[in-house]
Amino acid sequence: MNELELKYGCNPNQKPSKIFMADGRELPVTVLNGRPGYINFLDAFNSWQLVNELKAATGLPAAASFKHVSPAGAAVATELSEILKKIYFVDDLELSPIASAYAKARGADRMSSYGDWVALSDTCDKATALLLKREVSDGIIAPDYTEEALEILKSKRKGTYNVVKMDTSYVPAPIEHKQVYGITFEQGRNDLKIDAEILKNIVTENKELTEEAKRDLIIALITLKYTQSNSVCYAKDGQAIGVGAGQQSRIHCTRLAGNKADIWYLRQNPKVLNLPFREDIRRPDRDNTIDVYISDDYEDVLADGIWEQFFTVKPEPLTREEKKEWLKTFSGVSLGSDAFFPFGDNIERAKRSGVQYIAQPGGSIRDDNVIDTCNKYGMTMAFTGIRLFHH
């Protein structure tokens, strides 16, 4: 089969819609369940490339959680701490390596991952399927599925959950095309390899770059390769913890991603971990409530008469001063940018979210200001010499 008819395009009024191979080859995907749509396949093919490259670069199983053609999260399989298991709501599950990767990919920004498209570098097993079964998600792409996993996924969303199998032998053409306003664009495919080699040009006084930091910078850069630009990514512990996508200004990318990273870390505060939730509260409602609790609007939003909907007793607020003190302990974070930082203000903002290691292309007329700002804080920064715009 070299074409697949879709229900509609980006919106219901955009018909007809299909995916097809212009060169007559067979499509490299098989739909095992459901009826994926236009945006589903955009997410599927972008996310598949991301996890495939993460696996190749790190040697570890990789997973991604995509929304609207950008990753909400991406991660490789490493052992989860008890705290991370708790904030990701997986402390009651037995996790395989690929399930751990997805738990991290989804857990870093659970609000953005609501209704996500999932990508796995490795076979989807029972553990991953059981994790997915209880989350709100649109579909999944993976190289294969165990029989148990497939049966579990087929039962999801009243039997309509989208399950796609990717042909791992597929190699895309070196030249790619797309149309905008009836006009065809052509470019060479971005097959740039991202690995530790591109981190060797360290331009700061501090030259220290740990193996963990190298791994996290590689994760950040590969994530950015498939994120709508402008984009910035914070990473720690083998996962993206904050992605700022599609902003017109670099500093807004850095702020947006940094705010998400801060929320990820604030969720690990003891007050948040011990929130007295009612047992009947659904996961999405817990996520939303935690977000409100962490915000400065907590007292206004969860006023008397409202908090009882979520908690058994009204929790004490996490004050601004407590949040500030907690975030001061945030450290060891890696930061990637898909293009150069034009001003040192990006570094100042990154420092507030525990950033110690940075990888960016370099090439700004103000590189000296950015380097000086890094040196002020003892950060390590590498110039990769490569831009990673994705549109």
Catalytic residues: 67-68, 230, 391
Tell how strand 239-245 and strand 333-337 pair up.
unpaired
What is d(CA 143, CA 91) in angstroms, rounded to the nearest whole number? 27
Closest to 313 in 3D by CA, of 300, 302, 301, 297: 302
Residue 59, phi-psi category: left (phi > 0), alpha (psi -120 to 50), beta (remainder): left
Q: Are 112 and 276 in contact (CB under 8 A)?
A: no
What is d(CA 204, CA 362) in angstroms, rounded to the nearest whole number? 12
Closest to 254 in 3D by CA, of 314, 325, 335, 185: 335
What is d(CA 129, CA 284) in angstroms, rounded to the nearest whole number? 19
Which three-class secondary structure state does DSSP give residue 236? Answer: strand
Q: What are phi and psi of 83, to 5 degrees?
A: -65, -45
Secondary structure (DSSP) of 163-188: EEEE-TT----SEEEEEETTEEEEEE
What is d(CA 347, CA 85) in angstroms, rounded to the nearest whole number? 30
Q: Are 355 and 379 in contact (CB under 8 A)?
A: yes
What is d(CA 363, CA 353) in angstroms, rounded to the nearest whole number? 24
Q: Are 53 and 194 in contact (CB under 8 A)?
A: yes
Half-sphere exposure (Cβ direction) of 134: Cα atoms closer than 13 Å: 13
* Structure token digits, residue 141: 């792409």
Radius of gyration of the chain (CA): 21
What is d(CA 152, CA 159) in angstroms, rounded to the nearest whole number? 10
